[in-house]
Amino acid sequence: MDSRESRGANRRKLARINTQMRVDVFKHRFIGGWRYVTRAKALDYNRYGIGVTSPMRLSPGTRIKVDLYTPAMILRQVDAEVVSCQRAGQAYRLGLRTYQTLKEVAGESDQHQIRYLAGMEEVLPQRAS
């Protein structure tokens, strides 16, 4: 195994939890502000980000907002940034980062909403393996 394989094998900061959640994606438009652009499906998440499938391609670096629909609650207008976009059949597999600074993840900010999903694995619908 070379160094490229070892780096790629463990690229995530934390293991992701499989799930199936509805995700509404909003994108900022120059005229008109934030607008709904597509519905996606969350495949997995952790406190750093979310993996989703989307019928629409979004370029890495794009700032978006997402609404996450869980059985227990709806998290609205969660800030996210597209960090990866890969074709997956007729859809796109997007990697979303839900923080800008590590202070948000550490809880020093009141705005990091994805932390509310921590500990909810038992009530979230699980994806079949």
**Residue ranges per structural domain of the chain:** 11-117
**Could you tell me the CATH superfamily of domain 11-117?**
predicted glycosyltransferase like domains (2.40.10.220)
Residue 73 binned pLDDT confidence (cut-offs 50, 70, 90):
confident
Q: Which residues contact 45 (CB under 8 A, 6 or more apart)?
A: 16, 17, 19, 21, 51, 114, 117
User: pTM value?
Assistant: 0.72
Residue 8 binned pLDDT confidence (cut-offs 50, 70, 90):
very low
Q: How far apart are CA 119 and CA 105, in angstroms?
A: 15
**pLDDT tens, residue by residue, 11-26:** 556 677 788 899 999 9
pLDDT at 111: 52
Q: Strand 91-97 to strand 63-69: parallel, antiparallel, or no bridges (unpaired)?
A: unpaired
**pLDDT tens, residue by residue, 100-116:** 766 665 655 555 556 55
